[in-house]
Amino acid sequence: MERAAIPPISSVAVCGGTHGNELTGVYIVREMQKQKLEKVGSVSITPVLTNPKALDVGRRYTEMDLNRCFTDALLSSPITESTPYELRRAQELNAQLGPKGSAEAVDLLIDLHNTTANMGLCLIFYSIDWITLHIYKYLQNKMSSIPVRAIQVAVPASDAYSLESVGKHGFAIEVGPQPNGVLRADIFNMVKEAVELTLAWLQEFNSGHTFEGSTVEAYTLVKSVDYPRDPAGKITAAIHQDLQDNDFKLLRSGDPIFLTFSGETLKYEGEDLYPFFVNECAYYEKKIAFHLAQKKTYTFPSISVKKD
Amino acid sequence: MSHGNINNITARLNAARRVAIFGGTHGNEMSGVTLVNLWMQNSAEIQRRGVEIQPFITNPKAVEKCVRYVDTDLNRAFTQENLSVTGGDELPYEVQRAQEINRMFGPKGSADAYDVIFDLHNTTSNMGCTLILESSKDAFNLQMMNYIKKAFAPASCLVLLNEHPLLKYSTSRSVAKHPVGLEVGPQPQGVLRSNIFEAMRVILKHALDFIELFNEGMEFPACSVEVFRVLERMDYPRDANGNIIAMVHPNLQDCDWEPLNPGDPMFQTFDGKSIHYQGPSTVYPTFINEAAYYEKQQAFVTTRRENLLASAIRKA
């Protein structure tokens, strides 16, 4: 592959509290704000608490999930009296950090999340972006305290619904397992390290360093599986112990996935796939017990900063 | 009920004829919500001879919204003041619920109150299976807990005693003559974990077996029960605005019931500095990093290990 020249990354938004009960990002951003962190070398930093109302009440959201509000359609919908708080907030954030798809948008947007699933540290992104893949590889090499993986959500930009799609480059850092409303020191320390490493990589990139191309494995979402439910819609089983906490362990036909309350084991039928977001609290209402992904290998070129 | 001389006399206690199992006292603690809903649909598993056992969802609005509480914590609401205050619909939802529950299963402190109430809870803390005792003098409960611990072995089931005059609180189960808390963790709020669910189910099975055996006349000899007695609540270090400035230290996180010695790390600031435990002696912390306790100014509680003697008991 030919070496790619990419414009410098001069502005970074570090976002936390997009879900008000996912506390690592909240405290990382609060610390940055307390330290009045505005610039690290060549990179200007904007720390943002994105959903203050949800944070105040310790909930994921107040009226609708903020992290589903960033499609082109929702961002351009007219605001009326009945517009939910989170949709207004999304449009405010789009004005502050975007507009999405424009030249004014922040160069890189990092959105910090937690999950109750045992996913370690995951970078989640929409498009195959050389910057994101290089940062992913860099974090994987440098971080030994936690598995680092990547998940690609293959959706066109206009349909991209989450906050990181607002930046020219963007990814979410999703770390678990951590319960809602809990702040674990080990998780905090790891996310802090990941953010610092990312900023360090950006320094090196901006100063002209060439990063060698390579390959990485990432997971792409294929489909989701819901809980078995009764006619009234109530779940009738829990995730089976063999699947619980085994995110990213290959699932094959015949493997147990649910244990019903009456003691029956339900098994997976289908192609070999990798489960993730296994037993994520917020997904019960979205009718998702777990997602299933394929593993793909991506090759990316050497990159260096484009000099004018 | 008589509390005889623990060394020689068997205490003769009334049979337990009316028992309730509470789920959803906190609407996002899913094991209890799920078990009680299951048993309300089909109670075969919880039926025992000689006793009426009622499963009951105590905080249905909180369960529906999958939150701990709507207006105020139901599991702190059963104070004498709340139970007697007038105000009807104007009262906070959970105070209304407390009054209703007190009518149905109490009145608290009276001869008409239910004999036993099991209140099912989960915690984000790594407490494993824990039974919560409110009085060190309740021979019936001590004998039940002894029975459960032995039946559950080799798996561990520990007993937390909260008799502290200031830290004790007015729980849903306190309307009964013999209140028993079941606390199983770690489980995130709003999440149902199979292993946690099944463990709680088994503990309840043993508890109901005990009641059936007792009611049929079995004598339970005097015994010694190890308990962890609540000593002190430890809050997070906070700044002048009340914001936390440190987290439970990685060395303490998940180490419920393990000794915390003077000088051991306890909290870690956001820039990595350790704050150490300064108490005079070794304690056994629990409820370490429970999500719901941030707002109650509690990072963990300290306990000390004690052996309580329970007199022999037999049905009167």
Question: What is the tens place of the pLDDT at every residue in B170-200?
Answer: 999 999 999 999 999 999 999 999 999 999 9
pLDDT of residue A145: 87
Residue recorded with tokens 């809050």:
B235
Query: What's the gap in Å between the CA of B188 and the closest CA on chain A?
Result: 5
Among candidate residues A117, A92, A131, the one with its CA nearest the CA of residue A246: A117
Residue B4 lies in a domain: no
C-alpha span between B192 and A281 (Å, rounded): 8
CB contact under 8 A, B294 and A181: yes
DSSP conformational letter for A181? T
Domain A4-218+298-305 falls under CATH 3.40.50.920: no
Q: Are residues B85 and B52 in the same domain?
A: yes
C-alpha span between B160 and B121 (Å, rounded): 14
pLDDT of residue A2: 87
pLDDT of residue A149: 98
Which residues partner with B228 through β-bridges?
B160, B305
Residue B104 lies in a domain: yes
A174 is catalytic: yes
Six-digit token pair at A192? 């802090």
Q: What are the C-alpha distances in Å from A132 to residues A125, A155, B292?
A: 8, 16, 36
Query: Between residues 105 and 124 of chain B, which touch chain A (CB distance below 8 Å)?
Result: 124
User: Which chain B residues are Cβ-neighbours of A189 within 8 angstroms?
Assistant: 250, 272
- Which residue intervals of chain A bear CATH 2.20.25.160? 225-292
pLDDT of residue A218: 97
CB contact under 8 A, B186 and A181: no
Residue B310 lies in a domain: no
Query: Between residues 125 and 184 of chain B, which touch chain A (CB distance below 8 Å)?
Result: none
Q: How large a percentage of chain B has pLDDT more than 90?
A: 94
* pTM: predicted TM-score of the whole model, two decimal places: 0.96
- Contact predicate A142/A118, CB 8 Å: no
**A180 vs B188, B249, B268: nearest CB:** B188
Q: Are residues B116 and B176 in the same domain?
A: yes
CB contact under 8 A, B191 and A182: no
CB contact under 8 A, B34 and A281: no
Q: Tell which phi-psi region holds residue A262, choosing left (phi > 0), alpha (psi between -120 and 50) or beta.
A: alpha
Q: Are residues B70 and B98 in the same domain?
A: yes
Q: Are residues B218 and B127 in the same domain?
A: yes
Q: Are residues B199 and B238 in the same domain?
A: no
**H helical segments located in chain B:** 30-41, 60-65, 80-84, 93-105, 139-152, 194-215
User: Which chain B residues are Cβ-neighbours of A279 within 8 angstroms?
Assistant: 191-193
Residue of chain B whose Cα is closest to the Cα of A280: B191
Among candidate residues A210, A205, A197, A234, the one with its CA nearest the CA of residue B64: A234
Helix, strand and coil in chain A, % to nearest 5: 25, 30, 45
Q: What are the C-alpha distances in Å from A152 to residues A125, A215, A218, A222, B193?
A: 5, 15, 7, 10, 27
Residue B154 lies in a domain: yes
Q: Are residues B218 and B270 in the same domain?
A: no
pLDDT of residue A190: 97
pLDDT above 80 for B257: yes
Q: What are the C-alpha distances in Å from B81 to residues B88, B109, B171?
A: 14, 14, 14
- Which residue intervals of chain A bear CATH 3.40.630.10? 4-218+298-305
Beta strands (DSSP E) in A139-228 are: 148-152, 169-176, 214-225
**A261 vs B38, B191, B292: nearest CB:** B38
- Contact predicate B306/B229, CB 8 Å: yes
Burial B42-70, CB ≥16 within 10 A → b, else e: eeeebebeebebbbbbbbebbbeebbbbb
Q: How many CB atoms lie within 10 A of CB A10?
A: 14
DSSP conformational letter for A283? G
Asked which of B227, B260, B287 is the last residue of a domain, the reply is B227
DSSP conformational letter for B291? G
A240 is in an annotated binding site: no
Q: Find the Cα–Cα–Cα–Cα dihedral A290, A295, A299, A305, rounded to 10°.
A: 10
B171 is in an annotated binding site: yes
Q: Tell which phi-psi region holds residue A25, choosing left (phi > 0), alpha (psi between -120 and 50) or beta.
A: alpha
| Mean pLDDT along residues B23-36 | 98
Domain hosting residue B159, numbered range: 11-227
- Contact predicate A193/A286, CB 8 Å: no
> Is B38 in the A-facing interface, judged by CB distances under 8 Å?
yes
Q: How many CB atoms lie within 10 A of CB B258?
A: 14
Query: What's the gap in Å between the CA of A197 and the closest CA on chain B?
Result: 16
Q: Give me the DSSP letters along B107-158.
A: -TTSTTS-SEEEEEEE-SS--EEEEEES-TT-HHHHHHHHHHHHHHTTS-EE
Residue of chain B whose Cα is closest to the Cα of A243: B194
- Amino acid identity of residue B285, one-letter, is P
The CA angle A194-A117-A221, to the nearest 5 degrees, is: 85
The helix/strand/coil state of B204 is helix
Q: What are the C-alpha distances in Å from A265 to residues A256, A260, B201?
A: 6, 6, 17
Asked which of B194, B227, B260 is the last residue of a domain, the reply is B227
Instruction: Tell me phi and psi for residue A121, to 5 degrees.
Output: -110, 125
The CATH number assigned to the domain holding B124 equals 3.40.630.10
Q: Are residues B61 and B191 in the same domain?
A: yes
User: Which chain B residues are Cβ-neighbours of A188 within 8 angstroms?
Assistant: 247, 270
Q: What are the C-alpha distances in Å from B265 to residues B259, B261, B274, B276, B301?
A: 12, 9, 6, 4, 15
Domain total in chain B: 2
pLDDT of residue B87: 94
pLDDT above 60 for B4: no
The helix/strand/coil state of A130 is helix
Residue B312 lies in a domain: no
Residue B46 lies in a domain: yes
C-alpha span between B110 and A245 (Å, rounded): 47
B29 is in an annotated binding site: yes
The CATH number assigned to the domain holding B243 equals 2.20.25.160
pLDDT above 70 for B3: no
pLDDT above 80 for B1: no
- Contact predicate B158/B152, CB 8 Å: no
Q: Are residues B98 and B219 in the same domain?
A: yes
Among candidate residues B83, B65, B81, B84, the one with its CA nearest the CA of residue B27: B65
C-alpha span between A52 and A15 (Å, rounded): 12
**B189 vs A180, A239, A244: nearest CB:** A180
CB contact under 8 A, B67 and A59: yes
Query: What's the gap in Å between the CA of A27 and the closest CA on chain B?
Result: 8
Asked which of B227, B252, B272 is the last residue of a domain, the reply is B227
- Contact predicate B186/B146, CB 8 Å: no
pLDDT above 60 for B6: no
Q: Are residues B129 and B205 in the same domain?
A: yes
Residue B230 belongs to what H/E stretch?
A: strand B223-234
pLDDT above 80 for B2: no
Residue of chain B whose Cα is closest to the Cα of A282: B190
CB contact under 8 A, B247 and A261: no
pLDDT of residue B7: 59
Q: Work out the pLDDT band at B165, boundaries 50, 70, 90.
A: confident
Half-sphere exposure of A147 (CA within 13 A, CB side): 13
Residue recorded with tokens 């020689």:
B8
Q: Are residues B53 and B199 in the same domain?
A: yes
pLDDT above 60 for B131: yes
pLDDT of residue A269: 97
The helix/strand/coil state of B54 is strand
Query: Between residues 117 and 176 of chain A, which touch chain B (CB distance below 8 Å)?
Result: none
C-alpha span between A276 and A274 (Å, rounded): 7
Residue pLDDT tens, chain A, 308 long: 789 999 999 999 999 999 999 999 999 999 999 999 999 999 999 999 999 999 999 999 999 999 999 999 999 999 999 999 999 999 999 999 999 999 999 999 999 999 999 999 999 999 889 999 999 999 999 998 899 999 999 899 899 999 999 999 999 999 999 999 999 999 999 999 999 999 999 999 999 999 999 999 999 999 999 999 999 999 999 999 999 999 999 999 999 999 999 999 999 999 999 999 999 999 988 999 999 999 999 999 999 999 87
- Contact predicate A256/A243, CB 8 Å: yes
Six-digit token pair at B179? 């209140």
CATH of domain A225-292: 2.20.25.160
Q: Work out the pLDDT band at B168, boundaries 50, 70, 90.
A: confident
> Is A182 in the B-facing interface, judged by CB distances under 8 Å?
yes
pLDDT above 90 for B134: yes
Catalytic option among A92, A174, A193, A285: A174
Q: Are residues B153 and B297 in the same domain?
A: no
